[in-house]
Each structure stands twice: as structure tokens, then as C-alpha cells.
Homo-oligomer: A and B are copies of this chain.
């Protein structure tokens, strides 16, 4: 059992080799994915990952307003990451802050590489992610939801995108840090990638030696692969039920 003291509080992150919530270092939190949860959106997905509850909606391809944003040869992609006021311990003022602008940008850049934007010139594909409850890892939960929602909307994609963070707590590299580990840990490194290992998002905060960094990267990649399987299953389930439209998902797999 390791100990760490920070801000006057002693937190033990591990007890008999297990984390505060009973996970092993290389485990992610329980993940639940539901496809097609909204009626108005063209595609949607609800994701629960530990204490995180996020919902993603996709609208489009549709017309761009204002028009000067149009691109002649491809669809633009917009991504809006937004936290509900009541999603965090202390009420958040409604509306975007600097953090949400940054997360929207990197999340969009995490998804755009796999979208066939050239199929829809002069259009926009809008991705909206609402964080209903936050517990560390909302950006990765949001990307996971958004990726499934894009498939649900029938947007042609080269592949899924799966996202997961690795972190460092008490000098140990762990997968998918939860709130306490994120707040008082030593590093946080969210990534997103395709099933074939192409990294589309990489951020890091904290302190990692080069060796730790490589171990964190390996762990996060493993996490993404496992999450991909759950995303895939959720889509197959949905479209088997409906007995149709499976083609869309399969196309995505092949490309």
C-alpha cells in the first residue's frame, strides 16, 4: 500500500494492490453504451463510464450556417462539448468556458480523421456532447459516445474511434483514472485511436518520465482496443434488433 500526501490530506490510492474502487491498475471502469437514445437527432449514443454520464447527438450532413463557413470540397465537422450545470460538485455556470473550447477542439480533431468529409461538400456534420454527470474522463467518454453516434447517424467513416486515458498515481501507471486519482494523481494522459492503432488524440498533463510515458501509452492503447469491442457490440446489437442498416457498421469496419 502506497501513500501520497498532497494539500494536507493523505490519500491511499491502493489497498492490497487494488484501487479505491476495487479495480486493478489496468482495468477501466464499468462501461455501458446505448445506441439511438434520442428521437430528434440523426444519430445518438448514451455512455456511462464509472460515474460519467454523457450523451452524444449527431446532426447532418446538413446545410452550413453562416454560409461563409462552407468548404467547397468537403463537409466541415463541428463538435460541441458541454457540461450540464449540475454535472459537477460545484454548480457550473451554463455556457462554454476555456476548458470546453479546448476539449471541443481536440475531440473534433480526434474524430475528423476517420470521417469521409469529402462525400459532403458544403455541408456540416454537427456533433453535440452533453456531460450530464462528470467523474474524470468526460472527454474520452464523450468521444466514445460521439463515435458511436456518428455511426448511428449513418455518417461514412473509415473506422470507429475509441478513447481512454492512462494516468499515474502513487508512481503507478493506471488505466482510466477516476476523480480522486485525477485530482490528486501525478499525471493524466487521454488518447483516442482507430482500431488499427492510429492515434487521433493525445494530451498529457502532469509528470512522466519517458519510460513511464511509454508504459502509459501501451496501457491506454490496450484500453482503447477493449472499448472498441464494446462500441462495436453495442452497434451490432442495435442493428440486429432492427434487423437492418447493419451495412453501415460493416462498411465502417472494412474501411
Contact = CB atoms under 8 A, between A and B. Distances in A.
Interface in A151-206: none
A68 interface: yes
Interface string A53-69: 00000000000011010
Contacts of A66: 68
B65 A68 contact: yes
Interface of A is mostly: loop
Interface in A51-107: 65-66, 68
Q: How many copies of this chain does the complex contain?
A: 3
A65 B67 CA distance: 12
A29 to B, nearest CB: 39
Interface in A221-247: none
A65 B65 CA distance: 16
Contacts of A68: 65-66
A68 B68 CA distance: 13
Contacts of A65: 68
Nearest to A66: B68
A66 B69 CA distance: 12
A68 B64 CA distance: 13
A65 B69 CA distance: 12
Nearest to A65: B68
A29 B65 CA distance: 49
2 contacts: A65-B68, A66-B68
Interface of A: 65-66, 68
2 shortest interchain CB distances as A-B pairs? A65-B68, A66-B68
